[in-house]
Chain A
Amino acid sequence: MIGVEHFPIIVVVMSLLSAYTILVAGWFNRKACFPISLMTLIAQLSLAVLILHRAISAPIIYKIGGWMFPWGIVYVVDVLNAFVLLVILFIGVLCVIYGWKNLEKEIGQRKTVTFYVVLQLYITGLCGIVVTGDLFNLYVFLEIASLSSYALIASAGGRALKASFNYLVMGSIGACFYLLGVGFLYAVTGHLTMESVKEILPLLGYGNKMVQAAFVFILIGFSIKMALFPLHIWQPDAYSYAPSTVSALIAATSSKVSIYALMRVLLSVFTLDFITNYVGLDILICWIAAIGIIAGSLFAIMQRNIKRMLAYSSVSQIGYIMLGLGLTPLSPWGLVGAVAHILNHAIMKCCLFMSVGGFFHRLKLLDINNFNGLGRKMPWTSAFFTVAALSMIGVPPTTGFASKLFLLIASAEAAETVSSGYAFIAVLLLSSLLNLVYFWRVIERMYFIEPHPHHDISGSESGSKSKSGSGADGIPRAMLFSMFVLASSCIILGILWLTFVPQTIVHNLCAMFGLPQLSDMGTAAAAAAGVEAVGGR
């Protein structure tokens, strides 16, 4: 029996080996790819659950090859990684199930084998980024994940090739920036392990220009990767031309992992102290995020293609996470909001892309103006879309409301020290109104506007309906299943986030990065209020 401490490496290696197994197995029988891929992911998912369970009590530290601490590559899994790992694999499993019947139709039978191979490599890359505790190793996995995601996007052919090429150029620039930053850090510290770099940096002095340059390079590098507002230009094309499975998978995981990596580097390598005192970037990050939130939503309102709309909405939502990260030094709720939104946004956006994929699968619909009457035609898919959209708007009791609530509390607490905290409250609320604008016009069309008699949507219905083993809405049951799981988790998790269930994770998180505990904050505020009330009388 292998102990839990080995699981981080197993998660990564399992996926890598499965990629080659699929290649060989697919050589003999194309049908074998899907079950192998699914089984691997489910196995990984169960490992991830065990890892999270263990990481809550104590972080797992795994030294590869038994090399001693500063020299070898080390995997460190604490609550944050374990949580993100779980999110990625959960989404991964559902995306693979979703693509089961749908993929062949979108990319053609010939490419399915390579598709599953690349998919597994992509998952390998993501898992690697998440579990590693080594700066350079992170770069390696980042490139594995990026390269395979270029291939995944390009698998649709046609315009996706150009989108993928754009992404390739931008992504490589981002990766280069990160590599430069890591190079600078290595030059001044002589180490690549996060833990050692973190220990040496204060000795060097945070005022060191090299360190600061490294910080900026890393920040920009990841900002490109995660499509933070002014650096998002590659993203809408990439999301909208990719096959639906890929859009759902990449939109939900790729940017989340980049933002996790940034979070990790900022908090575990540079530490909060550095960010606030030596660079003073925290409020700047918040403002960039705030502008991103609004701008992303405004761009989304301008779109007619639903996939592009969702892509721009992602730009806006990434802003939420960044805002939470930026507020972290001022309020622990910022970190909680950011981490919560990593999961919540992954679920919501994945569900949205999946249901849009469902519409596309059956009716070849992408233009929002043709959505009239969809609610009657595909009731289940539309219902899932609506639930996820309501969640994006932040209607309680959905996941979106939970993250919004946490971020609002963070902003209110930040307002004690910097007055722009009030501005962030306004931005968050305004953004949910903007979300309302662009999601509601879709919902309105789906349910309440009768289809035009001239371009009836049934006219464009593709003939393959009978072939694809259709479920309730004329799309494969596998697709509906994935959407159902995501849509229901939108509501279930929304309620769970408010309960005390995630409290252990949250407390662990705060303790890990030296933030004050949330409960302390609450009582402190209450005590302060009580004292003031007494004083006031």
Chain B
Amino acid sequence: MIESLKPLLAILCPVIAAPLILISRNHPNLREFWTIISSFSLFAIVLSMAPTILSDGDIKCVLMHTMLENIDVAFKVDAFGEIFAITASSLWILVSFYSIGYMRSLNEHAQTRYYFCFCWAICGAIGVAMAGNLLTLFIFYEILTVSTYPLVIHEQSDEAISAGRKYLAYLMTAGCFLLAGVILTYHFAGTTDFSRGGIPGLLNAAKSASEVMPFVLLLCFMLGFMKSAWMPFHSWLPTAMIAPTPVSALLHAVAVVKAGAFGIVRTICFVFGTEAMNDSGLWIFTVSVASFTMIVASLFAIAQDNLKRRLAYSTISQLSYIIFGASLLWKEGVMGAMLHIPFHGYMKITLFLCAGAIAVITGKKNISEMAGIGRIIPVTMIAFTIGALGMCGLPPLCGFISKLFMCIGAWEWSSSSYMLALALLLIIIMSSFLDVLYFFPIIKTAFFEPAEPAEPAAAPPHKAAHGTATAEAKRVETSSALYLFMVIPLTITAIYSVVLFILFFLQPVAPDFLSLYIFKLAGKAAGVP
């Protein structure tokens, strides 16, 4: 444990950028410059913390002592928080570039508001990642909720407004439950600091208040982290897909929903503690919720025709993998869950960025219209294929590794009951199979079905007159500098998800910073050597 100001510096990057963005609202280039510069410095600061954490343990930074005994507003970056912080900050860089391409190609209104709120959302996500106790986590969790609202309703159509209402209704309610959970935890344990293996005495004190209290507490936290969109509290997520694609990408595949999943893993491993979860039998609840969501969300996804909605349901299903892995309670399962946070982040952002690029470049949003699209925008669609394969957990993609760890975690249960271990394994396999069922048709449509002949309406892109005819189709992606802004980030994430897979096996030889320290950090956080 060492004290350092780095967490504070990290959180200050977006906080300082936000007013600068507002001030330079009349100079678009300067405005975007602030976003980019602060995203790079944030990433640098966050990454520089990783070696320290690996060698010296958690980094602590107390912002202020509060009047409440044993509660500080403080950051304590441990290995697990660092993983999430790295994921969010690295993806912010890519999404910033992507946003420039996307927003300018579509000539979107209120771009200043967009970048401004984006900064605050990142501030919330990084704060959640680095929070050292539940109160701090709650504060940043609420900042995240409020700041993403203007992003969700960016379009300001009636539909967007009602989507925004739904979004707030779900997530502010979640905030209330979380606050109740925080207060009850503080009341029972006298502290809310996270500690490996659970806050000491929490469940015993809760149990002595009432027999059902541990369950009520867990329920408060689960409902509080509704951002992870577990079923049946998921319907805000597909609705919120009305937001611009970069928002959906970063916030709804990375920051917001991951903050929820992150919170649940935090709760299971660092508030309740895996042992206590096992002793009280509470893990059965989380495991069943997660399994239910994994299967049912995939089934829902098959039925969607709108690409973004299908991806949304896929997110719901994949997030439950994280909950599932953590609820397995075995080290390997927890490690799988922790790895799945960055891995799913990189793969899902690839998919979302592709969806956005498809929409901007070709103007198509529904899967049924995408026949032959692979020939018009090959790079994008190959990246999409890579992301999709990773989602299904196939090698050689990083999605395979996290799912492998979860399978090992599930199999560990065979020490108590073979049936249980088999059932858990079966759930993972079935869900992965369903993933294949809804991703492969997209790939097939895009690459192997001939494009519909004579499509004058579809040929001109959404707004501008770039790439007018199919003859020039090959070059559509590179025909405009703005398109490059979109295509390059998604290529990077796609390649990186392959690289991560390779690096996992090259761990003894490859330097750690190539994998952004993710494997070492997850190993440390989960206690797997």
Contacts and interface: CB of A to CB of B under 8 A. Distances in A.
Chains A and B form a bound pair = yes
Interface in A484-537: 495, 497-500, 502-503, 506, 518-519, 521-523, 525-530, 532-533, 535-536
A397 B139 contact: yes
B190 A409 contact: no
A425 B146 contact: no
A385 to B, nearest CB: 15
B142 A413 contact: no
Interface in A422-448: 425-426, 429-430, 432-433, 436, 440, 444, 447-448
Contacts, number: 120
A409 B138 CA distance: 15
A216 B304 CA distance: 64
Given A395-B142, A425-B180, A525 B204 contact: no
Interface stretch (B52-60, B181-189, B250-258, B260-268): B181-189
B65 A449 contact: no
B123 to A, nearest CB: 12
* Interface of chain A, main secondary structure: helix
Given A499-B67, A503-B67, A412 B143 contact: no
A529 B173 contact: no
Nearest to B155: A448
Given A533-B200, A536-B201, A518 B67 contact: yes
A450 B156 contact: yes
- Which bracket fits the contact residues of A? 35 or more
A526 B70 contact: yes
A101 B200 CA distance: 60
B204 A409 contact: no
Interface in B162-196: 164-165, 168, 172-173, 176-177, 179-180, 183-184, 186-191
A526 B73 contact: no
B173 A518 contact: no
A408 interface: yes
Contact of A436 (B172, B177, B183, B205): B172
A455 B176 CA distance: 38
B66 A499 contact: yes
B396 interface: no
B142 A444 contact: no
Interface in B138-168: 138-139, 142-143, 146, 150, 153, 156, 161, 164-165, 168
- Which bracket fits the contact residues of B? 35 or more
B506 interface: no
Given A432-B176, A500-B66, A409 B205 contact: no
Contact of A526 (B156, B180, B184, B191): B191
Nearest to B279: A536
B24 interface: no
Given A425-B180, A502-B67, A409 B187 contact: yes
Contacts of A503: 67
A521 B69 contact: yes
Contacts of A354: none
B109 to A, nearest CB: 10
Shortest beta-carbon contacts, A-B, top 10: A522-B69, A533-B201, A526-B190, A429-B176, A412-B187, A536-B204, A529-B201, A525-B190, A396-B139, A408-B183
Given A412-B186, A448-B150, 8 more contacts: A408-B179, A409-B183, A415-B187, A425-B183, A425-B184, A433-B172, A502-B67, A521-B69
27 contacts: A393-B172, A395-B143, A405-B68, A409-B186, A412-B186, A415-B187, A416-B209, A425-B180, A425-B183, A425-B184, A429-B176, A429-B177, A433-B172, A444-B161, A495-B64, A498-B64, A499-B66, A503-B67, A518-B68, A522-B69, A523-B69, A526-B190, A527-B190, A529-B188, A532-B201, A535-B204, A536-B204
